[in-house]
Amino acid sequence: MKTISFTAVFFYLSQVTFLSFVVAQSKEVPSTKRLKLLNADYVLLNGDSVKILDLDTESRSQIKQKIKVTCERNMKISQQAMGNTPKKAYYFAKSSLQLDSTFLPAHAMIIHLFLQRKDTASAYQNAQIAYRQTGSEKLLPILSVLEEGLANSKKQSLSEENSAITGDQNPRLNYLLGLGSYKDGNLSKAIQYFELAKDDHYADFAKATTKLMQNKDEKSIKAVHVFLEDSLLNFYAAHNLAVYYFKENQLDDALLWSNKALSINDTLLNMYYLRGYINYMLGQKEAALSNFKNCFSNDYKNAEALINAAICQYNLKLYKEALESANTAIEINDKVAENFLLRGNAHEMLHQFTQACEDWHRAVALGRSDILPLITEFCKPNNPD
Amino acid sequence: MNLFFRYILFFVVFFGVLKITHAQDVPFKSKYFKDKKKQFREALKELHLADEIIETEKDYDKALNHYQRAYRFHASSVNLNFKIAQCYILGDRTEPTEAKPYLEKAIELDSLKRVEVFYYLGKVHQSSKNWDAAIINYKKYKALCSKDEGEDCSTLAQVEKNIAQCYFAKNTLSKEKKRVLIENLGRRINSPYPEYGAVFTPDMQRMYFTSRRNKTTGFDVDIDLHYYEDIYEARKTEQSWNRVKNLGAPINTNGHESILSISPDGKKMLLYRGSNNGDIYFSEKKGRDWSEPVAMAKPINSKYKETAACFAENGKTIYLVSDRTGSLGGLDIFKSEYKKGKGWTEPKNLGAPINTIYNEVAVFIDCSNVHLYYSSDNEQSIGGYDIFKATNKNGSWSDIENMGTPINTPYDDLYFVTDSSEKIAYYTTRHADTEGSSDIYKATFLSPEKPVNLMASNFEMLLPQPNVSAWLIELMDQEENQNKEYVFKGMVRTKDGNSAEVLISLEDPIQQMLIRKDSTYHKGSFSYSLNASTDYRMLIQAKGYMPITKNLRLKANTSEVFILEPVKKGEKLVFEDIYFATGSKELSADSESSLQQLLSFLQQNMSIKVKLIGHTDNIGSKIKNLELSKQRAKSVRDWLISQGISQNRLIYTGKGDAEPVGNNDTVQGRQKNRRTEVEII
């Protein structure tokens, strides 16, 4: 997107040409003279470059109106192009900024286009430029999120700095600050921020969830239940109730809510992982296996999901399958004792005692020294194979 | 009828009905089935046919079908229930535990008619490892049998042993279960007929076993209605055992041949033949064929039974099973050694604790000659024969150990042989997955359980993450941003709370354009509808008061009260927006808005005098900056004079870069430093 295509150049030049118009000026510009707009600051008058600010007020007002109309038209073209032809969208947004560097929608478009390309660094850079040029506080939460995305640890939370600028007036910033406090485990502070982010739907839900974590009472549970009616947040509500009941060791309820969450949104692999875990703890090994398989087949926590699947397979006496899963888990991560321990167990059940003992000793070396007394006698030399 | 007789009548009727409805034994007699004569005759025929099969063929599996047909007609006979239960217990292809409902039904119908139902129920419970229930039923049988003189109580000794076994199982074995994997060798080896006594070549690649399957040499059956024994060979493949074949002549004949042992070099075979009350035979492999078996001479064989034997110590020792003179009771294990020039020594009874008054059979010694495995039906068994292990310590056998569950079952567990590591063993038993009768199973001794922990994840509650894209798309929405308007309401008050008439200017700070200018006439209050996406600069001016500047960008309807401070000496107004061409004293057109503000202020407050102070950033030399700042301040003064302000009210000076208010290292800081201050004097 940084290199200008011929098509884009053509579009840009046509915009500039389009902006040639007549401006009557009381003192310096005869009413019959034609002015050509060069850029946001200069016009061409009688072959001379003249600064717009040097024109009379009325002329400047007309120019401003023209700029506004053109910018809006450019943005419409840009918005139409953003899905299929992002380059075109980019250059029409850029054209608008050439005419009016304070034109916020064009800045938003450019940031958005960089985010679409997953180029967070450029998005952040452009957001900074946008903030400098427009001074719009609406950009502050965006800057905060992008900065967090860049994991810029040199600075303390930009949200907090920005909050100092805007006071408590920006709900999105307060929501971000609440998320930060929540992440740091400061639940009381998080609730305060979420309360400040009034009229923000997400913040209300975040507050209910945080209170559930903090208070663990029926009232808090009911507060989260309210969001089950909300089509945007019902998945989060079901998910959080599942996690809550899981942490409270109420596994039947946890299973119920994890089922509900997945019935709303079956794409969040974390929920499959949790449901697999719950299934396993409830002795539902086949269901657990199915859930863990869903995770690793979709690349979520691959090695962990694989070894958990292997544990289920082992318990279901599917020793060959368990061995295969453990092999793959070890290929991904050969620093986890459990991977070797499980593979050793699978080898043992397949009567591959030498390999079993090798794996168990690897598990011991990786931290499972507790099994050493259990294998010493068995792993004496002269094992059959 | 008086009350007394009414009571009598009630009890007679009540107990009469009770007696009729209570289950009771109804024998297979025609008088009880007068209205179903035809069906009765057919059922009776089936019953007699089954009795005859048992009497002549002892085929309980076959008899069971006929008994079941009779049972479908009439289920309330103690005898029939007992007979069906007996078939389930004694049949080859039946599961003994299925006898339980029939035995319980027999007891329900009449618990005293056949007291042996308690014995069999005890056996069924023992088979199911319900040790307590087994003990209770055995004890009931023992008590009833002792009271009833008509009963055949020859089984009482067996019952005593069974009770002892149940106590042993309950108190000892149930507490410790070995971690053993037990697998049926499957249909390639096992069949619906009995298979047992597997032995192996030292490399464990070839297996010999005994079977009484229907393809036996001569196709004949013995008096126990099983086919005669033959020896079979199987070879190991990667996955299982394969290529099973009957060894044929000269090993197998029309009589009984069962495999006993293969020598450590794999070239000698000990086998059993039924001749002479059961003797041990010897065969040697010559090339690919086994030689004609030869009965081992005395003292290995005797006139008594020799039923089992195994090679030990490179074939120079034989352990054998016999009930010969010197036995402690039943079959015992003996040992004989080969002495060069003298032949085999007189077999010596291994004595206690290996041998007991009960049977010790199916002997096997591991290749290191440390562990002796054998089966016994002694009181330390949990039912039938159990496998035991004895350890050789300093030449004597000690530490007798019941191999425990799941190796041992309440059925017969026999012919236990191991590989060199003693981790894998093969033996004969009958589990639920039997192919029929006894089968050969493989036992793999596993290491103790090593729990693997499920990999936990940090399961945390989810909070919706900010959707930046949605925010950006919202910002792109020009309609919303461009057209949305909010109301800004203001009220201007003096410090003592009075209203004041003020002049309010609204301008676009970026385009430097005046948008509107108003006076307030109504108690200093005003109200504007402003575009939500636009920045405004508001200037509030009142005669005798310092001007107030406020930057606005509305996100909601807003109101604010402004307090006017009176003009007094020493107060300063700061203008950052009075611009000059770079390095020049010439005022830029961009400065017009600020200059107009200053002009308006001076016009409103005609009595005040001001000092104009110029400041620069630190770009360039200090002397030049000082001079430039003075010149620029003078330019402002000259402009004000040109607009009609008296020269007497204006003085000017310059401070150069001496009094910065911003950081000269940044563009923004330098911008702040390039300013014009207006001090009231």
Q: Where are the domains of chain A?
A: 1-80, 101-167, 169-230, 334-385
Of all residues in chain A, the one with the smallest CA distance to B556 is A169
CATH code, B282: 2.120.10.30
Maximum pairwise Cα distance, chain A: 109
- For residue B636, is it within any domain? yes
Question: Who's near A249: CB < 8 A, 6+ residues apart?
Answer: none
Verify that B501 and B605 share a domain, yes or no.
no
Please judge whether A141 and B465 are an interchain contact, meaning their C-beta atoms are less than 8 angstroms apart.
no
Residue percentage of chain B with pLDDT more than 90? 37
Please judge whether B450 and A345 are an interchain contact, meaning their C-beta atoms are less than 8 angstroms apart.
yes
Reported confidence tier of residue A299, pLDDT bands at 50, 70, 90: low
Residue B615, CB-side half-sphere exposure with 13 Å CA sphere: 23
Q: What does DSSP say about strands B503-508 and B513-519: parallel, antiparallel, or unpaired?
A: antiparallel
Q: Which residues pair with B182 in a beta bridge?
A: B443
Alpha-carbon span B273 to B307, nearest angstrom: 9
In 3D, which of B209, B227, B231, B210 has the Cα closest to residue B219? B227
Residue A301 scores a pLDDT above 90? no
pLDDT of residue A56: 67
In 3D, which of B388, B387, B428, B429 has the Cα closest to residue B411? B429
- For residue B451, is it within any domain? no
**Which of A209, A247, A308 is facing B454, going by the closest CB pair?**
A308
Alpha-carbon span B633 to B641, nearest angstrom: 12
Least trusted range by pLDDT, from A289-298, B410-419, B465-474: B465-474
The residue of A378, A379, A380, A383 whose CB has the most chain B CBs within 10 angstroms, and thus the best one to mutate to test that interface, is A378
**Which of B464, B471, B589 is facing A54, going by the closest CB pair?**
B589
| pLDDT (average), residues B131-142 | 92
Alpha-carbon span B243 to A316, nearest angstrom: 31
Least trusted range by pLDDT, from A356-360, B130-134, B260-264, B573-577: B573-577
Residue that wins the pLDDT comparison between B501 and B615: B615
Q: How many domains does chain B have?
A: 4
Q: Residue B223's domain spans which residues?
A: 180-445
pLDDT of residue B7: 54
Reported confidence tier of residue B25, pLDDT bands at 50, 70, 90: confident
Reported confidence tier of residue B505, pLDDT bands at 50, 70, 90: confident
In 3D, which of A326, A295, A330 has the Cα closest to residue A311? A326
Answer for the pair B334, B324: CB distance below 8 angstroms, yes or no. yes
Asked if A309 reaches chain B (Cβ–Cβ under 8 Å), the answer is: no
Alpha-carbon span B493 to B542, nearest angstrom: 10
| pLDDT (average), residues B562-573 | 86
Reported confidence tier of residue A12, pLDDT bands at 50, 70, 90: very low
Please judge whether A108 and B476 are an interchain contact, meaning their C-beta atoms are less than 8 angstroms apart.
yes
A312-341 residues touching B, CB cutoff 8 A: 314, 336, 338, 341
Please provide residue B320's backbone torsions phi and psi, each rounded to the nearest 5 degrees: -135, 160
Of all residues in chain B, the one with the smallest CA distance to A342 is B452
Name every chain B residue with its beta carbon within 8 A of the beta carbon of A342.
452
Residue A86, CB-side half-sphere exposure with 13 Å CA sphere: 13
**pLDDT tens-digit map of A39-92:** 767 777 666 777 776 776 667 777 777 788 888 889 989 988 988 899 999 999
Verify that B307 and B411 share a domain, yes or no.
yes
**Which of A54, A247, A338 is facing B452, going by the closest CB pair?**
A338
**pLDDT tens-digit map of B88-104:** 988 877 888 899 999 99
Residue B587: Cβ within 10 Å count: 18
Question: Who's near B221: CB < 8 A, 6+ residues apart?
Answer: B227, B228
**Which of A112, A213, A349 is facing B473, going by the closest CB pair?**
A112
Residue A27 scores a pLDDT above 50? no
Q: What is the DSSP letter of B545?
A: B
User: Final residue of a domain: which of B510, B537, B566?
Assistant: B566
Name every chain B residue with its beta carbon within 8 A of the beta carbon of A61.
513
Question: Who's near A216: CB < 8 A, 6+ residues apart?
Answer: A244, A248
Upstream peptide bond of B299 is cis (omega within 30 degrees of 0): yes
Q: Where are the beta strands (DSSP E) in chain A?
A: 20-22, 34-37, 42-45, 48-51
Verify that B356 and B277 share a domain, yes or no.
yes
3-state secondary structure of B267: coil
Residue that wins the pLDDT comparison between A347 and B581: A347
Of all residues in chain A, the one with the smallest CA distance to B423 is A384
Residue A288 scores a pLDDT above 90? yes
Please provide residue A353's backbone torsions phi and psi, each rounded to the nearest 5 degrees: -70, -35
Please judge whether B513 and A374 are an interchain contact, meaning their C-beta atoms are less than 8 angstroms apart.
no
Name every chain B residue with its beta carbon within 8 A of the beta carbon of A57.
513-514
Answer for the pair B660, B671: CB distance below 8 angstroms, yes or no. no
Q: What does DSSP say about strands B610-614 and B650-654: parallel, antiparallel, or unpaired?
A: parallel
Alpha-carbon span A168 to A178, nearest angstrom: 12
User: Final residue of a domain: which of B142, B175, B208?
Assistant: B175
Verify that B562 and B574 share a domain, yes or no.
no
DSSP secondary structure string for all residues of A86-140: HHHHHHHHHHHHHH-TT-HHHHHHHHHHHHHTT-HHHHHHHHHHHHHHH--TTHH
Q: Which residues pair with B526 in a beta bridge?
A: B490
> How close is the nearest chain B Cα to the Cα of A350, in Å?
10
Residue that wins the pLDDT comparison between B550 and A1: B550
> How close is the nearest chain B Cα to the Cα of A313, in Å?
12
Verify that B187 and B320 share a domain, yes or no.
yes
pLDDT of residue B21: 43
Work out the burial of residue B588: count CB atoms within 10 Å of its CB; fewer than 13 is exposed, 13-18 middle, 19 or more buried: middle
Please judge whether A382 and B420 are an interchain contact, meaning their C-beta atoms are less than 8 angstroms apart.
yes
Determine the length of chain A: 385
The CATH code that applies to domain A169-230 is 1.25.40
Verify that B577 and B654 share a domain, yes or no.
yes
Residue B621, CB-side half-sphere exposure with 13 Å CA sphere: 3
**Which of B420, B468, B478 is facing A146, going by the closest CB pair?**
B468
Residue B464 scores a pLDDT above 90? no
Alpha-carbon span B175 to B173, nearest angstrom: 5
Mean pLDDT of chain A: 81
Name every chain B residue with its beta carbon within 8 A of the beta carbon of A158.
none
Verify that B137 and B41 share a domain, yes or no.
yes
> Which residue intervals of B441-564 are DSSP H helices?
468-476, 478-483
**pLDDT tens-digit map of A337-353:** 999 999 999 999 988 98
Verify that B544 and B579 share a domain, yes or no.
no
Alpha-carbon span B543 to B539, nearest angstrom: 13
Name every chain A residue with its beta carbon within 8 A of the beta carbon of B448.
374, 378
pLDDT of residue A156: 42
In 3D, which of B378, B406, B513 has the Cα closest to residue B174? B406
Answer for the pair B101, B16: CB distance below 8 angstroms, yes or no. no
Verify that B118 and B217 share a domain, yes or no.
no
Reported confidence tier of residue B184, pLDDT bands at 50, 70, 90: very high
User: Final residue of a domain: which of B532, B547, B566?
Assistant: B566
Residue A154 scores a pLDDT above 70? no
Please provide residue A319's backbone torsions phi and psi, each rounded to the nearest 5 degrees: -70, -40
Alpha-carbon span B88 to B175, nearest angstrom: 30
pLDDT of residue A109: 93
Least trusted range by pLDDT, from A377-381, B243-247, B641-645: A377-381
pLDDT of residue B668: 63
Verify that B165 and B184 share a domain, yes or no.
no
Reported confidence tier of residue B323, pLDDT bands at 50, 70, 90: very high
Asked if A300 reaches chain B (Cβ–Cβ under 8 Å), the answer is: no
Verify that B249 and B219 share a domain, yes or no.
yes
3-state secondary structure of B529: strand
Name every chain B residue with its beta carbon within 8 A of the beta carbon of A60.
511, 513
Mean pLDDT of chain B: 85
Count of A-B CB contacts under 8 Å: 162
- For residue B7, is it within any domain? no
**Which of A105, A182, A213 is facing B476, going by the closest CB pair?**
A105
Verify that B560 and B577 share a domain, yes or no.
no
CATH code, B600: 3.30.1330.60
Name every chain A residue with its beta carbon within 8 A of the beta carbon of B455.
304-305, 307-308, 336, 338
Residue that wins the pLDDT comparison between B616 and A279: A279
Please judge whether B462 and A135 are an interchain contact, meaning their C-beta atoms are less than 8 angstroms apart.
no
- For residue B79, is it within any domain? yes
Long-range CB contacts for residues A145-150, cutoff 8 Å, separation at least 24: A145/A176, A145/B466, A145/B468, A146/A111, A146/A120, A146/B468, A149/A120, A149/A124, A150/A120, A150/A121, A150/A124
Residue A34 scores a pLDDT above 70? no
pLDDT of residue A199: 63
Q: Where are the beta strands (DSSP E) in B413-522?
A: 414-418, 424-429, 439-445, 485-494, 503-508, 513-519
Please provide residue A180's backbone torsions phi and psi, each rounded to the nearest 5 degrees: -65, -45
